[in-house]
Structure 1
Amino acid sequence: MSLSSHLQELRRKHQHLSDAVERAQRSPATPALDIAEMKKQKLRIKEEISRLSTS
């Protein structure tokens, strides 16, 4: 997998998580712990994108 396709996949996953977090925050049935875990995953992906983009 090339670097550009890997970055594109990471950006897609980040956007998917962003959408999921938004939906979860609007749903009172979603536990706060689940939302926090999604946000952590999103941050890890963002950091990976940043690291690969500056390499």
Structure 2
Amino acid sequence: MSFYEIFRHFADSYGLLIIFGLYLLLCGWHFLPRSREGVEEAKHSIFKEDDHA
């Protein structure tokens, strides 16, 4: 087997699982209790320089 075939087999089988797991991890990171402060700050950051409110 050539390097290309080995790499292609890995990408077709385990690569998809790794990418899907990384996606779930990054999406779930937002909902962790310890990240609540950062989420609140980011949620209100667009209104910091708003003079109309």
| TM-score normalised over the length of structure 1 | 0.42
- Rg larger in structure: 2
